[in-house]
């Protein structure tokens, strides 16, 4: 504890944290079964050993299992989380010129998916206590063109869906939950992704369940489910001939290999979620009295927090170090960490330079203009979050309690030895 590892001291943590993804012989067996079956694709025509006999696909099995675990009627698996957002929005009737309210503190896909179907993302600021969409700011973002809201359950922490759904109902808006971080998380006992009109999940490499890539739409609406299935499957219609197409769609199917992996990953999810939540809440409790460290609020409606990320906020003046110095020191103490997003979405060149219009997408129909350079003044909380947040990966929370305690020890050590930065600068 006498010296920071950054300046030659002994690191607090000297062994690695759990690796990600987690897999064993079960995943290997599942992949080999698909390989040797020769049935690598989930389209029904690929599953005929003899006329009139079909074999259930792994994709269909995974869709049913994932939907059942989350308490939804329908699950539609697809290629990516971005594809899932596109499918759900299009199936909900969102199209060119429609406005979709999104938070600016999230991955690009939450805003690019509306653009990819010709709709207009409108950025609304976040709550500083949760980093989720702030319901108090939503109505000021609503215009006569608004058709949908996409609340993101950021880091796996449930957004305030009660207030968001009440606003949406009054204004006749579709609510699409972006649950890309929230596998197995819940609000008031209901799994996230099943509470709005639809919810989407991602199975990209960093997510709490992964097949390297993949996505899924959950919904309780049979009509929306049928449309999603058609859009992801080249506009086909269930029960109709193979080469009969009813609407312009994509080819967004997942493979049987991905589905086989995800079936095994889903079996691990309950225990992993419980471990992450236990360790995440332990961290919150132990960091509560460290000067300059602010943990995110876990509101009373949160039943299960998936802790896709463990996020803390650093008050540089109170802690006595800048964030860049803090991140450098924490990393050298053996704690994997990052600063997360360097800027809100609207500061990306594609928004600042209106690059989507140059690509021919119908963002601004006649009489409709939007200037994203004005968003910094509308989203000060998101601006600040990009300056003071510290992210720790969810795999770190899969260890034992003493592994998590090392994070606390490292942060306390950095605070106690913060003067070493000034001495090193002399």
Predicted confidence (pLDDT) per residue in 239-280, tens digit: 889 899 999 999 999 999 999 999 999 999 999 999 999 999
Q: CA 257: distance to chain centroid?
A: 22
pTM: 0.94
Q: Hey, what domains does the chain have and what are their CATH numbers?
A: 25-266 (3.40.640.10)
> How many alpha carbons lie under 13 Å from residue 147 in its C-beta half-sphere?
18
Catalytic residue among 207, 387, 413, 419: 207
Q: What is the pLDDT of residues 187-243, one digit of tens each?
A: 999 999 999 999 999 999 999 999 999 999 999 999 999 999 999 999 999 888 989
Q: Fill in the DSSP letter of residue 147.
A: E
**38, two tokens:** 């020769």
Least confident of 176-180, 327-331, 356-360, 411-415: 356-360
The reported pLDDT for the residue numbered 50 is 35
Contacts of 201 (CB under 8 A, 6+ apart): 66, 81, 84, 179, 180, 182, 183, 193, 207, 209, 215, 216, 218
How does the average pLDDT of the chain come out, rounded?
A: 93
372: confidence class by pLDDT, cuts 50, 70, 90: confident
β-bridge pairing 120-123 and 74-78: unpaired
Give the per-residue pLDDT at 51: 43
Q: Would you state the pLDDT for residue 46?
A: 37
Residue 207 a catalytic site member: yes
Tell me the three state secondary structure of residue 306: coil
Dump pLDDT digits (tens) for 97-156: 899 999 999 999 999 999 999 899 999 999 999 999 999 999 999 999 999 999 999 999
Please count the residues of the chain.
426
């Amino acid at each position: 504890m006498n010296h920071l590892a950054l300046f030659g001291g002994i690191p607090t943590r000297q062994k690695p944290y759990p690796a990600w993804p987690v897999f064993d012989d079960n995943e290997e067996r599942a992949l080999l079964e698909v390989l040797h079956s020769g049935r690598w694709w989930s389209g029904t025509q690929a599953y005929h050993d003899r006329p009139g006999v079909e074999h259930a696909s792994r994709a269909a099995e995974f869709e049913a299992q994932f939907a059942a675990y989350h308490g939804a009627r329908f699950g539609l698996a697809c290629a990516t989380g971005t594809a899932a957002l596109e499918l759900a929005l299009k199936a909900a009737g969102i199209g060119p010129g429609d406005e979709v309210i999104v938070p600016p503190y999230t991955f690009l896909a939450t805003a690019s998916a509306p653009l990819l179907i010709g709709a207009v993302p409108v950025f609304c600021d976040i709550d500083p206590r949760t980093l989720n969409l702030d319901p108090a700011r939503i109505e000021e973002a609503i215009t006569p063109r608004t058709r949908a809201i996409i609340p993101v359950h950021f880091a796996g922490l449930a957004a305030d869906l009660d207030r968001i759904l009440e606003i949406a109902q009054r204004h006749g808006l579709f609510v699409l939950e972006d649950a890309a971080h929230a596998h197995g998380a819940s609000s008031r006992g209901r799994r996230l992704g099943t509470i709005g009109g639809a919810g989407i999940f991602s199975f990209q490499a960093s997510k709490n369940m992964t097949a390297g890539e993949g996505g899924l739409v959950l919904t309780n609406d049979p009509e929306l489910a049928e449309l999603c299935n058609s859009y992801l499957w080249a506009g086909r219609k269930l029960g109709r001939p193979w080469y009969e197409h009813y609407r312009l769609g994509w080819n967004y199917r997942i493979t049987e290999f991905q589905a086989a992996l995800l079936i095994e990953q889903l079996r691990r999810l309950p225990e992993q979620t419980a471990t992450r939540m236990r360790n995440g809440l332990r961290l919150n409790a132990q960091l509560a009295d460290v000067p300059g460290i602010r943990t995110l609020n876990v509101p009373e409606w949160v039943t299960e927090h998936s802790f896709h990320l463990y996020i803390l906020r650093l008050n540089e003046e109170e802690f006595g170090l800048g964030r860049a110095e803090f991140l450098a020191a924490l990393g050298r103490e053996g704690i994997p960490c990052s600063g997360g997003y360097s800027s809100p979405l609207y500061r990306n060149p594609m928004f600042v330079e209106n690059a989507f219009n140059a690509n021919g997408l119908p963002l601004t129909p006649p009489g409709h203009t939007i200037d994203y350079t004005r968003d910094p003044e509308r989203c000060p909380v998101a601006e600040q979050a990009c300056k003071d947040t510290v992210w720790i990966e969810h795999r770190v929370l899969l260890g034992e309690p003493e592994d998590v305690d090392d994070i606390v020890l490292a942060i306390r050590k950095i605070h106690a030895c913060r003067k070493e930065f000034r001495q090193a600068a002399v």
